[in-house]
Amino acid sequence: MTRWENYMNAAEEIVAAYDGSLPLHHFLKNFFKARPHMGSRDRRRVQQLVYQYYRLGKWQPQLDVRERMLLGTFLCETSPDALLGFFKPEWNERITGTVIDKLVFLNLRWDAASAFPFVSHLSEGIDPEAFTLSYLQQPRLFIRARPGKKAAILRLLEDAGVAHETTGDAIALANGIKIEELLPDKRAYEVQDLSSQETGHRFRPQPKERWWDCCAASGGKSILLHDQQPSIGLTVSDVRASILENLHKRFAEAGIKQYDARVLDLTKPVTGFRPFKGIILDAPCSGSGTWGRSPEHLFYFTEDRITEYAALQKKIAKHVTPLLEPGGRLVYITCSVFKEENEDAVTFLQNECGLEIEESGVIKGYDREADTMFVAVGRNLT
């Protein structure tokens, strides 16, 4: 049996066993740990096949697992692939063409609604075909240069011969780059998607203001906020104590020492705080704007969960907006592409929380090899 057949058999075994209850990368880690005979090259190739299977979403459901993996390989890869050459040499000869060229060659038509069954829920302005086709390409790795560090980072990348592109303080790199080895000084940069970095354009903190990152997770938005104005009084909170431990470590690496951290369940009323000039509500959401990085989520997501997330977001918003000072600003963020989590939330912030909406809209990443996000800014006029 050739190694290509072994790779295909292992990938089929993974797809048959995986049920979506764990993030796929955790499942794969456990799978490979139980098979120490597989080398790094073997693991990488099998993992690639599995992800390409899920990148097709719900499109072409009549195909068996092996056919879907080969089709995914053909559509996702852009240079000749030895495995595809073994199973489908006639496809491999055309692999450098565009996705549209490949579909024409196969006499197939891309169906956005079939690939992504939730098209009717997409936020305004999102192109269904372009968005769903972006799943065939993994978003790039983005880092954010911290203040005063960009020039040094670019010199290191150029000296190492690493291809990169810049947009403001964002630096785009190919996936698979071992960033910790390339840039060992973690104080110089943060790993942060391009669209996530652009949400920070709405923060605009002023000196000495009090700000609260109320769903802080591991603190990426807080570090971005602090880099904009280090003199702010910063409070961070999350419902998970374990996540705040990660935040403490990340803050230490970033050199942030002065802040207040709380474990808070924001589905309940919040007490014990003075009002804040600014609140970042990076709301728990479906994460649908990031599924290009983790396409298995699309495969196992169910429509009813959109309503569940939307209800949770409104409950949290209702509890945190009373803690805005008069004239204070709420920056509402999701990494979702669903209108129930985005535009409908803006309507709620306006009608039920009494905020004046200054701006809102989708930050498109699907046409920039990045995540797609949503951001709205509301002001407390009371």
Its sign, for the CA torsion 155, 157, 162, 166, is negative
DSSP per-residue letters across 89-105: HHHHTTTTS-HHHHHHH
SS3 179: helix
186 Cβ neighbours under 8 A, 6+ residues apart: 180, 253, 254
Q: Please count the residues of the chain.
A: 382
265 is in an annotated binding site: yes
The CA R_g of the chain, rounded to the nearest whole Å, is 22
Residue 282 annotated as part of some ligand binding site: yes
How far apart, in whole angstroms, are the C-alpha atoms of residue 241 and residue 237? 9
Q: Which residue has the tokens 């999102």?
A: 126
| Distance between CA atoms of residues 32 and 86, nearest Å | 24
H/E stretch holding 170 reads strand 170-173
Write the DSSP string, 42-60.
HHHHHHHHHHHHHHTTTSS
- Tell me if 159 is assigned to a ligand binding site: no
Q: What's the N-to-C CA distance of the chain in angstroms?
A: 73
- Give the residue ranges of DSSP H helices in 218-281: 220-228, 241-254
Residue 318 token pair: 């209702």
Helix ranges restricted to H, the chain: 3-17, 24-33, 40-55, 65-76, 82-87, 89-92, 99-106, 112-115, 128-133, 150-159, 179-182, 194-199, 220-228, 241-254, 296-300, 304-320, 343-351
Which is the catalytic residue, given 76, 214, 335, 353? 335
> Given the structure tokens 């920070």, which residue do they identify?
200
215 is catalytic: no
How far is it, in rounded angstroms, from Cα 296 to Cα 194?
Answer: 22
Annotated binding site for S-adenosyl-L-methionine: 238, 265, 282
The catalytic residue positions are: 335
